[in-house]
């Protein structure tokens, strides 16, 4: 059974159709990267999967269940945003605890999860700080840590590295790859417009162009057999 299945997914904002007949089947535990130019619909597709936007047409299935009308909190999904989306008035610990309180998780279990995630991401020394007292890289680790504590079956990343400087981007990318290995069976979808990130992280890449899927394949398949000039230029295939 597929982890996530998109059947003829469409999305319009008013009269503007931004996603057109998206068909995709993602396996459990896969690391999928959505790439494509700015404005092609990557974030919108991610937000539809997370339940943060309504679907205009088609069916979205998670673990075989149709979830078109299932609330975001009930989908078993954690999402990490480019902007971190931390609460500025809360400490790191409180930021990580907030979603768990909402989910009525037992306090000691929540504490255990927070401390484990903090250790994994090396943010234990910052648990009592406010987000503004952290660097961009540390803030993004907190956002990733918060996502981990929810023990999702699906992890979504929307350009998580774009606000970081070059060296931190490499470090954090390596950490995300390690996280995927560690969280066996968790499906990850990672949005980027950076070819290097896509080629190094992905089990399979989905190339989007103007709201449609151009090609789906492993990094090597796309590199060696691009289906169009668009894919070739995007991936940097030899000509
Ligand atoms: P990407 O993440 O690939 O850069 P987006 O998914 O953010 O692209 O946007 C795809 C298209 O949908 C763009 O043309 C954008 O302007 C439009 N769009 C996104 N969100 C909205 C919205 N809430 N209302 C109207 N148009 C939107
Ligand atoms: Mg985007």
Long-range contacts of 62-70 (CB under 8 A, 24+ apart): 62/3, 62/4, 62/5, 62/153, 62/154, 63/1, 63/3, 63/28, 63/153, 64/1, 64/2
State what percent of residues in the chain have pLDDT above 70: 100
CA 206 – ligand 1 centroid, Å:
18
Cβ atoms of 12 and 56 within 8 Å: the answer is yes
Q: What is the pLDDT of residues 188-229, one digit of tens each?
A: 999 998 889 999 999 999 999 999 999 999 999 999 999 999
Task: Please state the ipTM of this predicted complex.
Answer: 0.98
In this structure, what are the phi and psi dihedrals at residue 45, rounded to the nearest 5 degrees?
-65, -40
Looking from the CA of residue 40, the nearest atom of ligand 1 is 3
| pLDDT at residue 1 in the model | 86
Instruction: Please report which ligand is nearest the Cα atom of 38.
Output: 1
> Is pLDDT above 70 for 102?
yes
Which of 11, 36, 37, 41 has most ligand 1 atoms within 8 Å of its beta carbon, as the pocket-test mutant?
41
Cβ neighbours of residue 6 closer than 8 Å, sequence gap 6 or more: 22, 23, 24, 25, 49, 58, 59, 60, 61
In this structure, the residue with its CA closest to atom 16 of ligand 1 is 39
> Is pLDDT above 70 for 239?
no
Report the residue count for the chain: 239
The whole-model pTM stands at: 0.93
């Amino acid at each position: 059974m597929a982890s996530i299945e998109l059947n003829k997914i469409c999305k319009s904002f008013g009269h503007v159709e931004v996603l057109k007949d998206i068909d995709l089947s993602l396996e459990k535990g896969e690391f999928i990267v959505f790439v494509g130019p700015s404005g092609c619909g990557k974030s919108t597709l991610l937000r539809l999967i997370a339940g943060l936007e309504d679907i205009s047409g088609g069916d979205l299935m998670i673990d075989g269940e149709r979830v078109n009308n299932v609330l975001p909190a009930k989908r078993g999904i954690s999402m990490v945003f480019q902007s971190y989306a931390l609460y500025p008035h809360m400490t790191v610990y409180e930021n990580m605890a907030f979603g768990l309180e909402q989910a009525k998780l037992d306090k000691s279990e929540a504490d255990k999860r927070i401390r484990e995630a903090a250790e994994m991401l090396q943010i234990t020394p910052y648990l009592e700080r406010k987000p503004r007292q952290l660097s961009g890289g540390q803030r993004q680790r907190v956002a990733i840590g918060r996502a981990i504590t929810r023990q999702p079956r699906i992890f979504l990343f929307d350009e998580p590295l774009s606000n970081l400087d070059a060296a931190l981007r490499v470090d954090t990318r390596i950490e995300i790859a390690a996280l995927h290995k560690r969280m066996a069976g968790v499906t990850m979808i990672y949005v980027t417009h950076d070819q290097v990130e896509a080629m190094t992280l992905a089990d399979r890449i989905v190339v989007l162009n103007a709201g449609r899927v151009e090609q789906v394949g492993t990094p090597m398949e796309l590199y060696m057999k691009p289906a169009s000039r668009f894919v070739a230029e995007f991936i940097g295939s030899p000509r």
